[in-house]
Structure 1
Amino acid sequence: MPSDLKIVDKLTITFLVDNCIEWMTKLPPGFTHELPQHLQQPGHGVFDEEKGVRVLDFDTFCCGRYGFSALIETSLNDEERSHLTLFDTGPDSLSLVRNVRAMQTPIERIERVITSHWHSDHTGGLLSFLDLRRSMSERNSHETQTQCIVDVHPDRPLARGIAPGPTYNKVICSLPPDPTFESIEKAGGVVEKHSEGHAVAGGTIWVSGEIPRVTEYEAGLLGGMRWVQRDGNITGEWANEQHIMDERYAAIDVAGKGLVIFSACSHAGIVNVVKDAARQFRRPIYMIVGGLHLAGPEFGARVPMTVDFLSNKLRPAPTYILPMHCSGFSAKVALEAAFGEGCVPAGVGLKVEVIGDREHDKHLFAPTF
């Protein structure tokens, strides 16, 4: 139940995979670019004695990829140890493992991987991450090791394909296959299958169940296709699957701020996601993070309606929106026009710290729309 979700005192987010790299744009308080983080790392680059400065090592900076992954650290004041959770794993076997090394991420401490949905730009790095975590754990065998739970929706497709417009009926390619449950276990993960909403990370993160589709203009992914088998698995065919019903979002409730929502691809529609979180928790939406899936001609008409809901109809409006991954340029421009500096140009390597305020929490009120 949503009542199982605890209010946290501190949330730290590190983006480990995203399409974009953002080094220089002005950021709000609590947001940190990748570069200053490297300057604080031990062993990054070499020190030039003659010039008296550190020489950056660009080979150990993060790389961008079409996908998404975020490290979520949640903390309670009355607990000694924070919880580290990975939300999605990017598209391939290279980008996430490179970037966790670049950010010197303590991956042996990551307790759980949450996969938002079965699309390979969100699950493609899972096995390589688990392999790296296991090898690092074996190297540090003197320390107490924790298992890594992999939190997935049970409805894993055999394959998913893309059928472009205007007809959306001819599949032009298949996405790479998602990891199987067996391969996840073989790589050292402990599979947990969840179709219902549930609290994880010591009760500090809520993983949603099925997202209700209640907004008329959020019609899913028209060209979404799924390979289904017939006749006792002898034959198969592509079938339309525009709604991607296995998609889930994650939510963290920060004291004095409200909900931080992670919606990695928003196939359900970000308005549907926000409405569901607001109705379940009766807490204001402080920050929206991830892919809004508003890129391309299929979704162009949704952009003004989505921006209008988030900036005008939802009250209070979110303080910050971080449109990433599949959000699209037009959506980012429109959100920046509506939210100003509240629309943050996030990217891989960027860190966000949200500090709670228990005293201010009593002044928060339920959102309306």
Structure 2
Amino acid sequence: MVEITILADNRVASPYPRGLRGEWGFSVAVGDVLLDTGQSAAVHNAKLLEVPIEEFDSVVVSHSHFDHTSGMMGVLDVMDRPDVYCHPKIWAHRYLDREGKFEGAPLGIPYTKSTVEAKAKVVEHRDPVEVADGVCALGEIPRTHQDHRIGKVEREDGVVKDPIVDDQSVVVETDDGLALVLGCCHAGLRNTVKHAESVCGGEVRYIIGGIHLIALDSEEVREIAGWLAGKLNRLVGAHCTGTTAMGVLNECLPETFEPADVGTTLRLD
């Protein structure tokens, strides 16, 4: 039995236990592996939800964005020098490029590699890697279908629209197939599903987390729902899935889709 519990998300699932905090961001316990650290609420919520992250040995960083990494130091403060799995490009300087008062605002991880290394063992990887028994971090994801880019990034050859090459997800092997746990899925859902199935040699039957459909219109979401129809046992949307997209998914996949928030727990065999 693997328990997957959301520790940081935009909303809170219920008033109990009292004091749970919502924030724009994401963190989820996948068995005894932590995927992402949110902005600041993960440690607080984990304590209330009785998820013993202080005993975990591994943290996986889905990508560098601040709403998934700002809580890193708070998490490392309660853990005993865990392994932190991440793409080597997460340390690049990233910022928003939209018009308005937030233009140029920092978008990436607010810590340097040396700061994280002072409290953890940093394991940089581009290829898939097993981070616990039956749990795999996918590494860099090949892209043949639509992805979801945001902001700009500084590279050696200049400033470019950020492809967020560091985006990765986590796969859990279950009796019914593969469970795909997403941070934000900037690499695109189809690309991520296909890569997970190629790497792990099974079919994805569960999808949980931020699907990043927030910027798509209803017809684009319907197309994705059509592709997923009949494929999944459960589709659990959180964080950047988007309210409009959640409505469309609920309409198109009523037997499969459900929203998730802080405190949501799924138990998979």
**TM-score exceeds 0.5:** yes
In structure 2, what is the equivalent of residue 162 of structure 1? 96
In structure 1, what is the equivalent of residue 264 of structure 2? 350
Structure 2: unaligned runs, 5 residues or longer = none
d(CA) in 2 for partners of 1:254, 1:124: 31
Q: CA deviation at 1:179?
A: 2.2
Q: CA deviation at 1:300?
A: 5.2
In structure 1, what is the equivalent of residue 38 of structure 2? 90
Name the SS of the counterpart of 1:337 in structure 2: helix
Of 237, 244, 249, which residue of structure 1 is paired with 2:169?
249
d(CA) in 2 for partners of 1:219, 1:15: 24
Q: CA deviation at 1:105?
A: 2.4
Q: CA deviation at 1:224?
A: 2.4
Q: Work out whether 1:289 is the aligned partner of 2:235.
A: no
Contact 1:157-1:226 at 8 Å conserved across structures: no
Name the SS of the counterpart of 1:276 in structure 2: helix
Aligned AA (2:221): V
Of 139, 144, 155, which residue of structure 2 is paired with 1:214?
144
Q: Work out whether 1:174 is the aligned partner of 2:127.
A: no
Q: CA deviation at 1:205?
A: 0.7
Cα distance change of structure 1 residues 341 and 220 upon mapping to structure 2, 3 Å threshold: same
Kindly report structure 1 stretches of 4+ aligned residues shifted beyond 6 Å. none
Of 222, 227, 233, which residue of structure 2 is paired with 1:309?
227
Q: CA deviation at 1:299?
A: 5.5
In structure 2, what is the equivalent of residue 152 of structure 1? 86
Matches within 5 A, 1:179-190: 179-186=111-118, 188-190=119-121
Q: Which moved more, 1:190-199 or 1:152-161?
A: 152-161
Of 245, 255, 268, which residue of structure 2 is paired with 1:331?
245
Query: Can you list the C-alpha shifts for 1:186-223, whole angstroms capped at 9, x where unaligned?
Result: 2x211111111111213x111112211111xx1431x4
CA RMSD of aligned residues (A): 2.3
Name the SS of the counterpart of 2:77 in structure 1: helix
Cα distance change of structure 1 residues 261 and 333 upon mapping to structure 2, 3 Å threshold: same
Name the SS of the counterpart of 2:241 in structure 1: coil
Contact 1:90-1:121 at 8 Å conserved across structures: yes
In structure 1, what is the equivalent of residue 161 of structure 2? 240
Name the SS of the counterpart of 2:267 in structure 1: strand
Contact 1:97-1:128 at 8 Å conserved across structures: yes
Q: CA deviation at 1:247?
A: 0.8
Contact 1:294-1:300 at 8 Å conserved across structures: no
Cα distance change of structure 1 residues 272 and 96 upon mapping to structure 2, 3 Å threshold: same
d(CA) in 1 for partners of 2:200, 2:113: 32
Aligned AA (2:83): I
Query: Can you list the C-alpha shifts for 1:307-366, whole angstroms capped at 9, x where unaligned?
Result: 11111xxxx5111111111011121111111221421121101111112xxxxxxxxxxx
d(CA) in 2 for partners of 1:302, 1:163: 24
In structure 2, what is the equivalent of residue 72 of structure 1? 30
Query: Can you list the C-alpha shifts for 1:77-118, whole angstroms capped at 9, x where unaligned?
Result: xxxxxxx11011002xx3112112211322231010000111
Q: Which has the larger radius of gyration?
A: 1
Name the SS of the counterpart of 2:57 in structure 1: strand
d(CA) in 2 for partners of 1:211, 1:129: 26
% same residue: 28
Q: Work out whether 1:117 is the aligned partner of 2:59.
A: no
d(CA) in 2 for partners of 1:253, 1:334: 28
Name the SS of the counterpart of 2:89 in structure 1: coil
**TM-score (normalizing by structure 1):** 0.68
Q: CA deviation at 1:152?
A: 1.2
Aligned length: 268
Aligned AA (2:154): W
Structure 1: unaligned runs, 5 residues or longer = 1-9, 24-33, 39-57, 74-83, 135-146, 231-236, 356-369
Query: Can you list the C-alpha shifts for 1:8-43, whole angstroms capped at 9, x where unaligned?
Result: xx21111100112222xxxxxxxxxx73xx4xxxxx
